Copies of this chain bind each other. A is one copy, B any other.
Amino acid sequence: MAGTQSRGKRGAGVGEAGAKSRKGGNGHGPDDATLVGFYQKMLVIRLFEDAAQRGFRTGKIGGYLHLYSGQEAVATGFLSTYQPGDRVVTAYRDHAHALLLGATPREVMAELYGKGTGLVKGKGGSMHLFDVENGFWGGYGIVGGHIPLGVGMAYALRYEGTDNVVQLSLGDGAIHNGAFHEGANLAGLWGRDGMNPTLFILENNKYGMGTSVERATAMTDLSAKFDSYAIPHEDVDGNDLLAVLECAERVVASMRETGKPYAVEAITYRIVPHGAADFLERYRSKDEIAEWRKRDPIGILEGRLLERGALSEAQIDELRAAAKATVDDAVAFAESSPEPDLRELTTDVYAEGA
């Protein structure tokens, strides 16, 4: 089923820099080139989401559309530890995950446009991106529903004797869902015997749609909820790429050894509405958003790179222009792509000939 298309044919994904983070000469922290590569990826993701928002406003993109803007450092940092054979699962806010793992902006934008050239042939749309060839196993729309799936995949990885891991993202709203409780308990139970390398990445962006963490639970230290399953955990500043990278590399490396689950609560914020149709945003103040925009993960990283002298203002402009060109190309591709073949309507319901 997977691997029908070759990476070559599909192109390079976002940015030039490889996914791996190379250490700097000083031994700790990634080197400048690596960071610049991440910076570039984050730029492309941000501009990609802006373009998607425009596509939605102009009626070219339908359904639900959930943007990752403001949270880029989380996926960028964690997925930098990806190794072939690993499996990545998330909810519906999934564009960045697909792009970071190697899906091309063209494939993803075409999917949002519902075109036959889309990443899943126009069948799934924004919420259901899949790129199995690159380890991205979806892309799910039901809050909490994907959590047990990731836990099962982690069992399979150890059952096959690999040292691969599952990276499983969930939101602050999903943690109150029964599927989380049941999935996390299984991860803790199976992990006791080294049979469950599931990395729970709890992206706490403060709101589940319009409901703040405080209005969803009386116990707001969300990562501490993993204590109920004997799953060790820590918090990380999800807007600081360097902090995420340090955490991700350390945690994933040890999980490959132990086969045990781990949880990280990444404190972050979505600087855009919950979904493209969430206009009013009555549940939060303009000031709060403004405050967080000051902590924009791209801005923070940009500042660091300028400070280090890893980038000049001029180079930043170039990178922005390049990112814009990449996204414009993706939009042009999506616009000009054909609708799906109507015969696709009833394929992939069951296996061919089954």
Using a CB–CB cutoff of 8 Å, the interface residues on chain A facing chain B are 176-182, 185, 188-189, 191-192, 215-219, 224-225, 227-231
Q: Closest Cβ of chain B: how far from A336's Cβ, in Å?
A: 46
Chain B residue at minimum C-beta to C-beta distance from A261: B218
List of 6 A-B pairs having minimum Cβ-Cβ separation, nearest first: A178-B178, A181-B181, A218-B230, A188-B218, A219-B230, A225-B228
Q: Closest Cβ of chain B: how far from A349's Cβ, in Å?
A: 29
Contact of A180 among B177, B181, B215, B230 (CB under 8 A): B181
Q: Closest Cβ of chain B: how far from A226's Cβ, in Å?
A: 9
Q: Which residues of B contact A230 (CB under 8 A)?
A: 217-219
Q: Which residues of B contact A178 (CB under 8 A)?
A: 177-179, 181-182
Chain B residue at minimum C-beta to C-beta distance from A180: B181
> In the complex where A224-B227, A228-B224 touch, is A188 in contact with B217 (Cβ < 8 A)?
yes
Q: Closest Cβ of chain B: how far from A98's Cβ, in Å?
A: 29
Most chain B CB within 10 A, of A176, A178, A224, is at A178
Q: Which residues of B contact A229 (CB under 8 A)?
A: 217-219
Distance between Cα atoms of A217 and B230 in the complex (Å): 9
> In the complex where A225-B228, A227-B224 touch, is A189 in contact with B177 (Cβ < 8 A)?
no
Q: Closest Cβ of chain B: how far from A330's Cβ, in Å?
A: 39
Q: Would you mind naming 17 contact pairs between A and B with Cβ atoms under 8 Å apart?
A: A176-B181, A176-B182, A177-B182, A178-B181, A185-B216, A188-B218, A189-B216, A191-B218, A192-B218, A217-B230, A218-B229, A219-B227, A219-B229, A219-B230, A224-B228, A227-B227, A227-B228
Q: Which residues of B contact A224 (CB under 8 A)?
A: 227-228
Q: Which residues of B contact A231 (CB under 8 A)?
A: 218
> In the complex where A224-B228, A227-B227, A228-B225 touch, is A219 in contact with B188 (Cβ < 8 A)?
yes
Q: Closest Cβ of chain B: how far from A220's Cβ, in Å?
A: 9
Q: Which residues of B contact A177 (CB under 8 A)?
A: 178, 181-182
Most chain B CB within 10 A, of A177, A182, A192, is at A182
Distance between Cα atoms of A185 and B174 in the complex (Å): 12
Q: Taking A178-B182, A217-B229, A219-B227 as given, write out 18 further A-B residue pairs in contact, using a Cβ cutoff of 8 Å, ordered by the A residue number.
A: A176-B181, A176-B182, A176-B185, A177-B178, A177-B181, A178-B178, A181-B181, A185-B217, A185-B218, A188-B218, A189-B215, A189-B218, A192-B218, A219-B228, A219-B230, A224-B227, A227-B228, A228-B228
Q: Closest Cβ of chain B: how far from A142's Cβ, in Å?
A: 13
Distance between Cα atoms of A205 and B45 in the complex (Å): 53
Q: Which residues of B contact A189 (CB under 8 A)?
A: 215-218
Chain B residue at minimum C-beta to C-beta distance from A228: B225
Most chain B CB within 10 A, of A179, A185, A188, A228, is at A228
Q: Which residues of B contact A185 (CB under 8 A)?
A: 176, 216-218
Q: Closest Cβ of chain B: how far from A331's Cβ, in Å?
A: 41
Distance between Cα atoms of A225 and B178 in the complex (Å): 14
Distance between Cα atoms of A108 and B181 in the complex (Å): 36
